[in-house]
Amino acid sequence: MKRRKADFRGTVSFASLNAHNNIDLARRDDIWSFYITMLDFLNEKLEWRENREYTISQVKEIKTKCFKSPRKKLWVGSTRDIEQVRTIFNHIESLDYVDCPDYNLIHDNLVEIYNRYEMKVAEVPNPAGGQPTKSYIAVPKPYNQVMDPRYLSM
């Protein structure tokens, strides 16, 4: 049974917006936390993680803006062109409190990401001049390195 109000639980950087909004957590919130962790593993630039001094309220505000406009504010780096990242996001966003996530859909899209992309270091010009910085970008793998998903199992 869903509670009307729940205390915040989780790690601020990886918590779902429902946790930030004190809404009772469900399976979808576990998947939101996983999703944010996945973006971090894929070296996506998560604005709320740029400054460790942000308060929990500031993180909530930044996440809210990013999740309302993911193409402009969330998928701005390495995940910008990865369709599977958007597919997983859209699925999680569609879930209500009682819904069971489609774990097969999530799994299949993760396998696709693994199969199709590798992370490469790229130099990014410094707009202020000086030394370029290093960043990661998702680069499609050559076809001969892509594994057939039929041979992968959970």
* CATH code of residue 56: 1.10.510.10
Q: Give the residue-averaged pLDDT of 47-74.
A: 95
- Across the range 53-77, mean pLDDT stands at 95
Residue 4 forms part of a structural domain: no
Domain presence at residue 12? no
Token readout for 87 is: 């597919």
Position with higher pLDDT, 37 vs 5: 37
In a domain, 55, yes or no: yes
pLDDT at residue 141 in the model: 74
* pLDDT of 30 above 60: yes
What's the whole-model pTM score?
0.78
Predicted local distance difference test score (pLDDT) of residue 2: 65
Residue 9 lies in a domain: no
Q: How far is CA 113 from each of CA 39, 77, 90, 102, 129, rounded to the nearest angstrom?
A: 12, 15, 16, 17, 34
- Region 15-32: what's the mean pLDDT? 93
Would residue 134 count as lying in a domain? yes
Q: Which residues contact 74 (CB under 8 A, 6 or more apart)?
A: 39, 44, 46, 66, 67, 89
Supply the pLDDT for residue 16: 95
Residue 10: count of CB within 10 angstroms of its CB: 16
The count of domains in the chain is 1
Above 70 in pLDDT, residue 153? no
In a domain, 132, yes or no: yes
Confidence band, pLDDT 50/70/90 cuts, at residue 154? very low
Residue 33, domain member (yes or no) = yes
Average pLDDT in the 24-31 region?
A: 94
Instruction: Say what the pLDDT of residue 1 is.
Output: 65
On average, the pLDDT of the chain sits at 86
Tell me, yes or no, whether 123 lies in a domain.
yes
Higher confidence at residue 100 or residue 144? 100
Domain that holds residue 145: 17-151
